[in-house]
Amino acid sequence: MRLDRLRRSLPFLADLAPKRSGGIRVPSNVYRQISMGNAARDAQAWTLAAQAYEAALELDPGLVHIWIQCGHAHKESGELDRATAAYERAHELAPTSPEPHLHLGHVAKLRGDLSAATRQYVQAARHRPPSGAAVVELSNMVAKGIHIDMIQLANLLDEQPRTKEPRASAPVEVVPRLGVEDGSEPAATTRGCLVFDISDLISYFRHSRTPTGIQRVQVEVLREAFTISGVDVRLCAFQEIRDEWVELSASLFRELCELTNAADESEWSTCLARATVQLGIADAFAFPTGAFLINLGTSWWIPNYFMYVRRAQAEANIRYVPFVHDMIPLVRSDICPPALVRDFTAWSASVLEHADFYLVNSYSTKRDLVSVSAYLGQPIDADRVKVVPLDAIHRPVAKARSAASVLSRNGLQRSDYVLFVSTIEPRKNHILAFDAWLKVIERRGAKKVPKLVCVGNQGWMNEPTHEFLRAHPELRSKVLILSHLSDDELAELYRGCLFTLYPSQYEGWGLPVTESLSHGKVPLCSNVSSLPEAGGSFAHYFNVESRAELAEGIERLAFDASYRKEREQNIASDFRPRNWKNVADQIVDAAMEWSTSDRRGADTPPHVATARFYSLSRDPAPRLWPGLRSTERLRTGFNWWGRDPWGCWTKPGGAALRFTVDNPDRDHRLYLLLLGPPNVPCELRIDANSVHCLVECTLEPNERRWVCVEVPGISTGNQTFDIELVCSSFEDLGKTTSGGDTRMIGVGICGFYICEHDDAAARMALIEATSLTSIDTLSINRPPSDFISLTAFLEGEQRA
């Protein structure tokens, strides 16, 4: 007490008190310089931060952690040489620490020297325990196709590194050590083979280890699928850089899932790296004949995905089954970002041409899927769509020591808050919730109104939500936003809340509603789309367009304790959630039922109309309309890279187009819009219908040119037009992008236009479009001005 008073009266004495930085005692003058550096760092004034840290190091040059901070400041200010020197000095002072190697790797990566970056990351990963961040960096480099010695990386992930040179068969040896059991044939089964595509889940794990939403569904279903007897369950992931599926062992997948809640993140990072290495070195997965390929996640973000679905269908007669979680980007495009709508539109047009059967999570989603397919003129037989409700309770997790304190850490007490679990984005309707909270505060007074605790990551288009909070200061003490919580912390919030809120404008299912019921809490949710299926008779519903109804529901559940208790008792006595084994069983049963049905149809080449332009870009049309068709299937073979906004690069050697036309026995003119590689000339030969060298030309770097091919008619055979583009040169994009783009490309194809040889009007239309307007005016996917919108179509269905 006396010392505190003395320090206040004599401020200079405070400077004499012991100071600590990074757990190390430092003199006060050193501490002042470090504090100045930290303040400048926090303000992102990197040059000032570096100067302050250097001043501290002049006084005490043995501070390893300050050499690291100094390196960070130099790196952020672009002084890579000085950053390297600082990190190297830290390594000299602490040769057993992995941290300097990690940051030297980051600097090398910024320089574009991926070999040096790899060496530094390997050094950091060799420490025990290994640097989890370095392991993640190495696995990410593998995933991007950057060359890394896989055997060396596998050894790093093993407890006992190899002591001798691997034989030629080393990759085969490494696979069992990474989790593949023995490569032997699976045990005899009686019900067939189900291959689950976990590409979406592996991609998610590279950015986050706590599964939510769709990712959680996959983890839970797959855990149980392996326990079903009589079924050969396999896992594969599509490797974009390899353009093929690769199998992941069940044991490694189980370990990966179990570690999602592990306290030691380095364990998780190492396991993820092992999975990445396995996917990088294992042979391409050979689908068993007649197997089901089931994708429980999403695939619209994967280039060339459907090309390799076609390959598996052709080679192994597989049945492709996507799990459609919702059609929201189409049926409610007004509450989705344009980029998502564009990508989902392209995916929808393609999936209807490739899927044999469908799984959906609700009858609402089934109605939307069937309606969209009818709108696009590709109707789906309702028997090919199975509803698999996600009404399963999540596995209980062991409560971590910090879980009980999630309330106290955030100033919460049991039963003094309402829980709203959702990503923050317009569709989830946070603004309506906040507005209703204002109305209840107005009626009841702020002191009596419970807090609203919003748990979820930041989604898209969320600035209006945050702006609403900033504009209403009376909500600041009543609304709490939390994110990146563990499963056990979220469970604690569920257990302690009064009730839950879910005012979403549209859902595919509504997992937070099921979670709420699983914890015995009443969900207050909107009465739209699938939410009445998820909430059943246990939820309290309101009109999603009525702030007044929502406010009344909040007041009823918050202030009428007897009503709330009655609803909770109904949940406790009558709510019977399924377990994930039930969900997995239903998926397996659906597949077994479909195993006696024919596939979607023959994989005939797509038909092409004359006098229309067919773009090979990834964006089929600016909007959804009934005549929309994917151009995905025009590309035949597998020598194509994924489609870009302008068109598509071929791989070295060239690629092929395949389609049918009316009157195939007549001669046609094919106009190809081509693009040369960025930096090298492209020597090109074009063949058509088994006639070689119809065109030979050279495209200069970045040259965009129309090339006309005189295609002879076919009077016999299958009457399919086959166009081959053969490149004798190619470009390695990795050399000009510092490894950022590892593709090796040939010629680029923007699209094509075909007409009969003597159709002068069609040729004139092309000339006018390319010289006076735009080729898009002739696009096959250009909608007419009087087309019926999907919204109007759905409204018409409802009226009918």
Q: Which two tokens stand for residue 311?
A: 């390959």
pLDDT mean over 716-722: 85
* Residue 9 confidence class, pLDDT cut points 50, 70, 90: very low
Residue spans per domain, the chain? 2-159, 190-242+284-387, 405-575, 613-778
- Homologous superfamily of the 190-242+284-387 domain (CATH): Glycogen Phosphorylase B; (3.40.50.2000)
What is the Cα–Cα distance from 216 to 392, expressed in whole angstroms?
11
* Residue 712 confidence class, pLDDT cut points 50, 70, 90: very high
Q: Which two tokens stand for residue 483?
A: 């994110």
Please determine whether the domains at 190-242+284-387 and 405-575 fall in the same fold group of CATH.
yes
- What is the CATH number assigned to the segment(s) 613-778? 2.60.120
* pLDDT value of position 551: 98
Q: Which CATH architecture has domain 405-575?
A: 3-Layer(aba) Sandwich (3.40)
Residue 478 confidence (pLDDT) above 70: yes
* pLDDT value of position 728: 87
Helix (H, G, I), strand (E, B) or coil at 684: strand
pLDDT tens digits, 686-696:
999 989 989 99
Residue 184 confidence (pLDDT) above 70: no
What is the phi/psi pair of residue 748, to 5°? Answer: -100, 140
* pLDDT value of position 504: 98
* pLDDT value of position 322: 98
* pLDDT value of position 716: 78
Q: Which two tokens stand for residue 31?
A: 């501490």
Residue 326 confidence (pLDDT) above 80: yes
pLDDT tens digits, 366-375:
999 999 999 9
* Residue 269 confidence class, pLDDT cut points 50, 70, 90: confident
* Contact assessment for residue 417 and residue 453, using Cβ atoms and an 8 Å cutoff: yes
* pLDDT value of position 640: 94
Residue 171 confidence (pLDDT) above 70: no
Pairing state between β 668-675 and 704-711: antiparallel
Pick 18 or 387 by higher pLDDT: 387
Strands (E), 279-429: 292-295, 319-324, 358-360, 385-387, 417-421
* Residue 431 confidence class, pLDDT cut points 50, 70, 90: very high
Q: What does pLDDT average to over the chain? A: 87
Distance, C-alpha 475 to centroid of its chain: 33
Residue 493 confidence (pLDDT) above 70: yes
Residue 588 confidence (pLDDT) above 90: yes
Distance, C-alpha 577 to centroid of its chain: 29
Q: Write out the H or E segment, with its range, that includes residue 699.
A: strand 691-699
The identity of residue 24, as a single letter, is I
pTM for this model (two decimals):
0.80
User: Which of 95-109, 141-155, 191-205, 637-651 is predicted least confidently?
Assistant: 141-155
Q: Write out the H or E segment, with its range, that includes residue 525.
A: strand 523-526
- Pseudo-torsion of CA 562, 568, 573, 574, nearest 10°? 120
* pLDDT value of position 484: 85
CATH class of 2-159: mainly alpha
* Residue 270 confidence class, pLDDT cut points 50, 70, 90: confident
What is the Cα–Cα distance from 568 to 557, expressed in whole angstroms?
11
pLDDT tens digits, 195-235:
999 999 998 998 888 888 899 999 999 999 999 989 999 99
* pLDDT value of position 800: 67
* pLDDT value of position 391: 94
* pLDDT value of position 347: 93
| Interacting residues of 47 by C-beta distance below 8 A, sequence separation 6+ | 73, 77
User: Which of 5-19, 43-57, 583-597, 781-795 is predicted least confidently?
Assistant: 5-19
Distance, C-alpha 290 to centroid of its chain: 28
SS3 breakdown of the chain: % helix, strand, coil, rounded to 5?
A: 45, 20, 40
Distance, C-alpha 588 to centroid of its chain: 25
Q: Give residue for tokens 């979403």.
A: 504
Q: Give residue for tokens 């002049």.
A: 58
Secondary structure in 3-state letters for 359-372: EECCHHHHHHHHHH
Pick 13 or 413 by higher pLDDT: 413
Most confident of 397-401, 552-556, 768-772: 552-556
Q: Give residue for tokens 């007549």.
A: 666
pLDDT mean over 670-698: 95
**CA R_g for the chain:** 31
Give the percent of the chain with pLDDT over 70.
Answer: 88
Residue 786 confidence (pLDDT) above 50: yes
pLDDT tens digits, 17-52:
557 887 788 898 999 999 999 999 988 999 999 999
Strands (E), 531-611: 540-542
